[in-house]
Amino acid sequence: MKTLAKRLIVAAAVASLMVGAAHAHRAWILPSATVVSGDNAWVTIDGAVSNNLFFPDHRPMQIDAISITAPDGSSVKPVNATVGQYRTTFDLQLLQKGTYRIAQANSGLNASWKEGTETKRWRGTMAEYVAQGIDKKPGVELTLSSRRVETFVTNGAPSEIKPTGKGLELVPVTHPNDLYSGEEITFKLTDNGKPAANVEVTVIAGGDRYREEAGELVVKTGADGTVKLTLENAGMYWLEAESRGTSSMEGKPVNSMSTYVAVLEVLPG
Amino acid sequence: MRNVVMLAVPVVMAGAAHAGTLELTVEIPKLNVAEYHRPYVAIWIEDASGKVAANLSVWYDIKLKDQEGEKWLKDIRQWWRRTGRELNMPIDGVSSPTKPPGKNTVKFDTGGAAFANLPAGEYKIIVEASREVGGKELVEIPFKWAPGAEATGSATGKTELGAVTFKLTK
């Protein structure tokens, strides 16, 4: 029973990844403020998957999948959470000084192979992959998909954001809560802790509903995973990057697909 | 212990020898708006590299219960970014109540802590205002500092600040 439940969760996670990729709906976690001050600092946060940024019009983000990491590395539970038709809303009290990371991260294994003209699909764990003999299927392709959707909020001075070392993620050179219009921003992207070279990063300003064109900015990471960009206008931005590669898990070849999304606020410089 | 004494003595002497006054008059415009709140104002000295050399004054609601006024300090945006976020408010001699519309004159003793470690050179006095349900504005006045120097300067804001005048006397 436990295994079944676990398998369903993984399946759901993978399914949501696939839906995300197929329909290009945008997932986001949007804080009411990214820079706060004082000893009683709160932010209210929305999580959703939508077409326009940042207008909830499709699905709420699953509240159970959201994790909050305090500046000291401890976990904080969201409070006053509500899952609505189009968005999930919750509050966060910033009891510590420094940077909080609010994220939804998941990953899952899936495989596909051909039986005659039919494409078979499978999802599960590495142990099941071997136990069920999926690894022996002719021409099987195993893919590890991971996705991280996050945002950052700072009370007082920005503090260090420790990389998770899992999947594609942003490693600050310029702190994500220290972004100003007209000033060059430098980020580094890593994939499983290694520099993510030659990865396309797309940045779109919120409020695209009111523009004829999204006006997306596309930049590529260099060999060391760094990317530089300058945003002329202050506002909330949605950043997305995706990397594909191959690696191995327990001696089996694996395709990896990793998606990263961050909501970033650029203040008037 | 000996080091402390040796460091302290020149500072005290410099202060005693050159104590003067920095006088700043900040005009807060009278605005005809539906909801008026006095602006939060930060006054600081910036060095030639853009770094904060001294925090002179921050005007905010220092008397609200639970330091509720500190919640809005981040809205004095440039000050917050450059120095405010690193500080533990309130600060004696820096934190001060908000001021009413009109000309507000504040004086700083140049023999005081803010100037004691200020090397001679080019600086700017920066005044930044941020008003609840209102706008934000920043004005700056360049000046040359050296112990015992005299200087005057002025700048005028357009929206949230009126005339700002500066006078450094021996």
> What is the per-residue pLDDT for A24?
58
* B150 to chain A, closest Cα gap in Å: 32
Name the closest residue on chain A to residue B89, using Cα atoms: A38
Contact B81 A268 (CB under 8 A): no
pTM, two decimals, is 0.86
Contact B77 A268 (CB under 8 A): yes
Checking if the pLDDT of B4 tops 70, the result is no
How many residue pairs bridge chain A and chain B with CB atoms within 8 Å of each other? 38
- Give the mean model confidence (pLDDT) for residues A244-250: 85
Checking if the pLDDT of A1 tops 50, the result is no
> What is the per-residue pLDDT for B1?
38
| Strands B52-59 and A194-195, bridge-based pairing | unpaired
Which of A 175-204 lie inside 8 A of B, CB atoms?
178, 180
Phi and psi, residue A65, nearest 5°: -85, -5
Contact A156 B85 (CB under 8 A): yes
> Is A267 within 8 Å of chain B by CB?
yes
- Give the closest of A35, A39, A156 to B67, CB-based: A39
Checking if the pLDDT of A9 tops 80, the result is no
Contact B86 A157 (CB under 8 A): yes
Residues B139-153 have pLDDT tens digits of 999 999 998 889 999
> What is the per-residue pLDDT for B18?
53
- Give the mean model confidence (pLDDT) for residues A244-264: 91
